Amino acid sequence: MTVSIKGKRVAFLATDGVEEVEYTEPRKAVEAAGGTAELVSIKTGEIQALNHMDKAGTYPVERQVSEADAADYDALVLPGGVANPDFLRVDTDVVRFVRDFFTAGKPVAAICHGPWTLVEAGVVDGRTLTSWPSLRTDLVNAGATWVDEEVFVDDGLITSRNPDDLPAFCEALVDRVAAQQPA
């Protein structure tokens, strides 16, 4: 990628059960493009990533979501994993944090099961997005149009289906962050 996002800060919102590659690959893409990535979570210490259902690496939490402000970031990434978004979507600070990105018109990228958190935040009504196929009914019931595409960008909302889509997802994320105008 030759796009630069130097000076841009991207929050990665995740907790235990995050699909490792859906966290690490977008983070690498942000950092390779010159951006700063920060892991925001509902807990302190470290989070336990998974490779599907098997334990993978652990990652240090850089900020608790209860202390995070969307105004401090240029974009938000919601990695998947089945457990991760399920834990996140019941946390009121998470829901507030996600909504604040939409209110501010900042890019939000969600992959695989990540859009579950968007449903809880009430931000998918009238939008078109993709996800892991099992989320289709939840997204449609929340007012979204679901499509089966590698990556779909609806204004500032970037979504992908699964880890196979990561190259397109990462490229769309970096391109959208680069195009974001300063507040």
Instruction: List the CATH number of the domain containing 16.
Output: 3.40.50.880
Would residue 4 count as lying in a domain? no
Q: Per the residue annotation, which of 8, 27, 113, 127 is the catalytic one?
A: 113
Q: Domain range spanning residue 86?
A: 9-179
Residue 44 has pLDDT above 80, yes or no: yes
pTM of this prediction? Answer: 0.97
Residue 132 lies in a domain: yes
Residue 117 lies in a domain: yes
Q: What is the mean pLDDT of residues 132-146?
A: 98
Residue 2 domain-assigned (yes or no): no
Among residues 112, 135, 142, 157, which one is catalytic? 112
In a domain, 3, yes or no: no
112 is catalytic: yes
Confidence of residue 2 (pLDDT cuts 50, 70, 90): confident
Average pLDDT over residues 5-15: 97
Longest dimension (CA), the chain: 41
| pLDDT of amino acid 55 | 97
Strands (E), the chain: 9-13, 18-19, 36-41, 46-51, 54-60, 63-64, 75-78, 108-111, 128-129, 145-146, 151-154, 157-160
Q: CA-CA distance, 149 to 103, in Å (whole number)?
A: 26
3-state SS class at 182: coil
Mean of per-residue pLDDT scores for the chain: 96
**Based on the structure, what is the number of domains in the chain?**
1
Say if CB 127 and CB 110 are below 8 A apart.
no
pLDDT in tens, 83-111: 999 999 999 999 999 999 999 999 999 99
| pLDDT tens column, 155-178 | 999 999 999 999 999 999 999 999
- pLDDT over 70 at 182, yes or no: no
Whether residue 1 lies inside any domain: the answer is no
113 labelled catalytic: yes
Tokens 């951006």 locate to 35
